[in-house]
Amino acid sequence: MTTPRYAATISRLPRLALFEARGRAEALEAALRMAGLPWPATFNTIAAQDAVEVARIGPKRVLIMAPAEQEDGLLAALERAFSANIAADFVMLSDSFAAFSVDGDDAEPILRQGAPLNLSIQAFPPGAIAGTELWATTALIARSPTQHPSFHVLVEASYAGYIESWLACANGMASPNRPGTMIRPPASLNP
């Protein structure tokens, strides 16, 4: 097909400033508050402050996301906050994740082709974020707190081409990426 099957726009987003922090919840909360960042009240939700979003994606795991230009400032703040807190740690993962947005009325049907997670507005309201399977890889999917219907998808950067290919395919479009040759040299007795 040359026209999209569904009413949705798929875009690869520019690199984000992205940090992951892990540790005991109380240590994480203390460090984030020291860094001047919000603390989400519940799991699988995003707390936003200015352009910085903090997502609790597990009992001992948070993501801090912001526009790329805030990377240095956030890095410095987090280093200060975690330096004295050995019970938790953070690391910059801006290069480790690729982000996509899937916007439009049919955004959910496109993502549900790869994700078993229930993304209906009732089960996955604005501001929700969760890790899930996405076409046999793992991904984080977030529903935009301000725009509806719009989802952000975070995948490990190495899978970005594969996921981009799937997203296009799920919307009835040609795949923009291909893997390698997928052919290994044949084994032979004599070279």
Partner 1 sequence: MSGRRLPSGGLIDRSKPIAFRFDGMPLVGLPGDTIASALIANDVLLAGRSFKLHRPRGFFGGGYDDGIMVERVAPRAATNQLATVTPLEPGGDYRSVSTWPNARFDLGAVYGLFGRLLPAGFYYKTFMLPTFRLFEPFIRRAAGLGRVPEAAWEPVSEARFGDCDVLVAGGGAAGLSAALTAGRSGAHVILVDDGASLGGRMITDAIDDGGWRAHVQAELASMPNVRIMPSSTVWGYHEHNLLTVIERHPADAADLDFRHWKLRARQVIVAAGAFERGIAFASNDRPGIMLASAVRTFINRFGVLPGQRAVVFTNNASAYGTALDLARNGAAVTLVDSRAEAPPEDMASLKAAGVELIFGAQVTEAHGSGRIKAVDVAVGTQTRRLPCDLLALSGGWNPAFHLASQTRQTRSVWHDELHSFVAAHEAGDFHIAGAARGLFSASEAAADGIRASGEALGRIGIKPHLPVAPDLPDPFVARKVAPLWFVPPKRQSAKLFVDFSGDVTTADLGLALREGYDSIELVKRYTTAGMGVDQGKSGNVNVIAIVGAMTGQATDQVGTTTFRPPFVPIEFGAMAGQRSRERLYPWRHTPLTDWHISAGAVMYEAGLRWQRPGYYPQAGEGWQAAASREARAVRHGVGVYDGSPLGKFQLRGPDVPALLNLLYLSDFSKLAPRRGKYGVMLSDDGLVMDDGVVFRLDETRWLLHSSTGAADRVYGHLEQILQIHRPDWTVSVLPITTQWANATLCGPKARDVLAALNPDFDVSNTALPFMSLVEGRVGDIPVRVCRVSWTGELSFELNTPARYAEALWQRVMAAGEAFGITPVGSEANHILRVEAGYISTGHEVDGTSDAIDLGLGALISKSKPDFLGKRSMEIRRRHDPERIELVGFMPLSPTALVPEGAPITPNGELTDQEGFVSASVMSVVHQRAICLGLLRNGQARMGTVVHARVRDKVIPMTVVPPVFHDADRARVKS
Binding footprint of partner 1 on the chain (CB under 8 A):
1, 5-6, 15, 20, 22-24, 60, 86-96, 109, 112-113, 115-118, 120, 122-123, 135-137, 156-162, 165-166, 169-170, 172, 175, 178-185, 187-191
CB of residue 58 to partner 1, shortest distance in Å: 11
State the Cα–Cα distance between residues 44 and 32, nearest whole angstrom. 17
* Residue with smaller CB distance to partner 1, 48 or 71: 71
Shortest CB 46 distance to partner 1, Å: 20
Q: What is the widest separation between alpha-carbon atoms in the chain?
A: 66
Comparison of 20 and 103: residue with beta carbon closer to partner 1: 20
* Least separation in angstroms between CB 29 and partner 1: 15
Q: Given the complex with partner 1, which of 12 and 22 has the nearer CB atom? A: 22
| Helix and strand element counts for the chain (H, E) | 4, 10
Buried b (16+ CB within 10 A) or exposed e, 85-96: beebebebbbee
What is each CA distance from 77 to 66, 139, 155, 181, in whole angstroms? Answer: 13, 27, 25, 45
Whole-number minimum distance, CB 61 to partner 1, in Å?
Answer: 9
Find where tokens 């975690």 sit.
82
